Amino acid sequence: MNRRLATALTTALTTALSTALTTACAALLLAGPAQAQEIRARLGTSLPDSHPQTLGARKFAEIVEQKSQGRIRISVYSGATLGSDQQMQSALRGGTQEFTVPSTATLANLVKEFGVIGLPFSFSTEAQADAVLDGPFGQGLLARLPEKGLVGLAFWENGFRNLTNSRRPVAKLDDLAGLKVRTMQNNLYIDLFNGLGANAVPMPVNELFTALETRAVDAQENPYTVIHAQKFYDVQKYLSVTGHAYDALVLLTSRKFWDGLKPADQALVQAAAREATLYQRQTSRSLNQSLRAELAKAGMQINEVSESERRRMRDRLRPVIDKHIESVGAETARAFFAALDQAPAR
């Protein structure tokens, strides 16, 4: 081959290779990042599809998908399909699950300061709870989570907790004596019912219906939404409106997952959480208002507990409250009660 022909062939090959590489790089620039940013995640809840916890979770997933134009998709698994609240919380810390929505009472087993939210007879209204949890005090609690491998996106609502049982109406403090009451796996709630003269039996909510049905426990305490969603009216006759504690939920994500997101995607997910919070709280409150009548139609005998009896209960629980103020820390308790005092009661 002569030199002129060799040079021509070399030039042609170089040009063809350069063109091919340029085309390939352009294709990667156009297609590669979009493919790399596709995200799939799992969000687990402990309650059924009809409960505001799961309704809020599905709304959050929907908003995230809309905002990301389908690039980020969150699959929701309800009814403890992925495990109990504590199991899912551990999965988030280990990076094997991306989202969950536990009660602050469950979260307090990991970060003790969250236990202050459940102190009995503290909140008066949902508006007061919103002001405390969305304000500096609540955001300060969320700031404690990253060091535990979690990121808190928002406070959601479970609601004010009331007592049901299969033995008798509870109209006064003395009626609680000897009742076996299922509680969350949380020392405050265990101490609360033991302090009122009942026998606390901690267990996950997904095991509760069978325990009530077999009379392993007599009673349980939850907002109307949980009582209805879990069909406790099938195995509990009496519902006593005690409103003994306000129960908040926390929309959590795994820190390992969160740290792997680009800042723009973190902002997108946080914005979706804020939007979903408004929906979730409104849904919870609307249902808690309407479901009381539904529970009565289902055959439950409902009675109000008077303010004087509620004061008696709170007075009886003074040692329990003092114990758990010491547990969460005096500084946290002072900040909590100061936030309560500053928040609107209505």
Per-residue pLDDT of the chain (346 residues; tens, 9 = 90+): 444 434 443 444 344 444 443 444 444 444 444 454 799 999 999 999 999 999 999 999 999 999 999 999 999 999 999 999 999 999 999 999 999 999 999 999 999 999 999 999 999 999 999 999 999 999 999 999 999 999 999 999 999 999 999 999 999 999 999 999 999 989 999 999 999 999 999 999 889 999 999 999 999 999 999 999 999 999 999 999 999 999 999 999 999 999 999 999 999 999 999 999 999 999 999 999 899 999 999 999 999 999 999 999 999 999 999 999 999 999 999 999 999 999 987 6
What is the C-alpha to C-alpha distance for residues 319 and 322, in angstroms, rounded to an integer? 5
CATH code for 38-342? 3.40.190.170
Q: Do residues 122 and 104 make contact, with C-beta atoms less than 8 angstroms apart? A: no
Q: Do residues 257 and 96 make contact, with C-beta atoms less than 8 angstroms apart? A: no
What is the C-alpha to C-alpha distance for residues 21 and 51, in angstroms, rounded to an integer? 55
Alpha-carbon distances, residue 323 vs 176, 191, 212, 285, 329 (angstroms)? 21, 9, 30, 31, 10
Residue 75 β-bridge partners:
42
Q: Do residues 201 and 182 make contact, with C-beta atoms less than 8 angstroms apart? A: yes
The residue behind tokens 């091919």 is: 20
Structure tokens at 181: 């009451």
Instruction: Return the ∠ at Cα 246 (arms to 242 and 247), rounded to 5°.
Output: 120
What is the C-alpha to C-alpha distance for residues 52 and 187, in angstroms, rounded to an integer? 25
Task: Give me the pLDDT at residue 23, please.
Answer: 45
How far is Cα of residue 39 from the mean position of the Cα atoms in its chain?
Answer: 22
Strand 219-222 to 150-165 pairing? antiparallel
Task: Give me the pLDDT at residue 344, please.
Answer: 82
Q: Do residues 150 and 254 make contact, with C-beta atoms less than 8 angstroms apart? A: yes
Task: Give me the pLDDT at residue 37, please.
Answer: 74
Helix ranges, 37-125 (H)? 52-67, 85-94, 104-107
Count of residues making up the chain = 346
What is the C-alpha to C-alpha distance for residues 76 and 82, in angstroms, rounded to an integer? 10
Helices (H) and strands (E) in the chain, counts: 14, 9
Helix ranges, 224-306 (H)? 224-229, 255-259, 263-297
Alpha-carbon distances, residue 79 vs 54, 175, 196 (angstroms)? 8, 32, 30
Name the percent of the chain in helix, strand, coil, to the closest 5. 55, 20, 25
Task: Give me the pLDDT at residue 346, please.
Answer: 62
What is the C-alpha to C-alpha distance for residues 118 and 88, in angstroms, rounded to an integer? 21
